[in-house]
Amino acid sequence: MVAVFVHGVPDTCRVWDEVIPRLARKDARAVSLPGFDAPVPQGFEAAKEDYVAWLIGELEALGEPVDLVGHDWGALLVLRVVSLRGDLIRTWTAGGAPLDPDYVWHDAAQAWQTPELGEQVMAMMTPEATAASLATRGLTPAQAQTTASHIDARMQDCILRLYRSAKTVGAEWTPDLARINTPGLLIYGAQDPFLDSPRLAPALASRTGADLLMLEGCGHWWESERPAEVAGALQRHWAAV
């Protein structure tokens, strides 16, 4: 049995570095999304469905159901995969992302989704500027610096392609949540600046039948802000199945 961790945007697999060492199990692995400090396969268009297909391929290659964990865009991918291929999943955990037909994308996402403006915004995402911004969103200065140092032109291009493919992802993917019958756990920071967690998270829990852990006083990056608490919640979630 393997635990697979999926990061979000603009992160890399390193975002899980504070959680995985705290787990009792030794079979946990964090994967890197194509283009996020990782190669981009030939013909990969970096649209949302490309990332879904990529993740399904990664899980199929493992040959057994996994405990799947995702944050931010990783959470959206987790929710989509478990909606489509529940046979690949023993348990799932997701959070720090909206999947709701009424969700309005945050300001940065809307900028990325806008041709020309998105490219202009990316040009301003220097390592220094990005690290400073991330440090105000919940990451420690060291974590923010690590994340920002891996943002390059390839990642920026993938981010633009991904977000532009996902303008209506809530309307597109929410109906299939009714197909989920695999044990799930949702983890959200109550003070996430990118979404209204107190409203969206309970609605998502209702749609998926998942348990909900709402972390008061926590922002977007719960895996970095509350790693011990997250690791404990994961251990309990896995042990209950």
Q: Which long-range contacts (CB under 8 A, 24 or more apart) does 19-28 make?
A: 19/223, 19/227, 19/230, 19/231, 19/234, 22/227, 22/228, 22/231, 23/231, 23/234, 23/235, 24/235, 25/238, 27/1, 27/2, 27/3, 28/2, 28/3, 28/4
Q: Is the peptide bond before 202 cis (omega within 30 degrees of 0)?
A: no
For the chain, domain boundaries: 3-102+169-239
186 has which bridge partners?
Answer: 94, 212
> Which among 70, 51, 55, 53 has a CA at the least distance from the CA of 11?
70
Domain 3-102+169-239 maps to which CATH number in 3.40.50.1820, 3.30.70.260, 3.10.450.50, 3.30.300.130?
3.40.50.1820
pLDDT in tens, 1-36: 899 999 999 999 999 999 999 999 999 999 999 999
Q: What is the mean pLDDT of the chain?
A: 96
Tell me the one-letter amino acid at 88.
Answer: L
Q: Output the six-digit token pair for 124.
A: 């301003």
**Per-residue pLDDT tens over the stretch 152-188:** 999 999 999 999 999 999 999 999 999 999 999 999 9
Span 95-119, mean pLDDT? Answer: 96
Stated pTM of the model: 0.97
Question: What's the rounded Cα separation, in Å, for the pair 238 and 150?
Answer: 31
Q: Record the tokens describing residue 8, joined without a space.
A: 């979000």
Whether the per-residue pLDDT at 140 is higher than 90: the answer is no
> Would you state the pLDDT for residue 105?
96
Give me the pLDDT at residue 139, please. Answer: 84
User: Which of 224, 238, 237, 190 is CA-nearest to residue 19?
Assistant: 224
Predicted local confidence at residue 211, as pLDDT: 98
Please name the residue that has the structure tokens 């990005």: 130
pLDDT band, residue 137 (cuts 50/70/90): confident
CA 53, CA 55: separation in Å to the nearest integer? 6
pLDDT given at position 136: 84
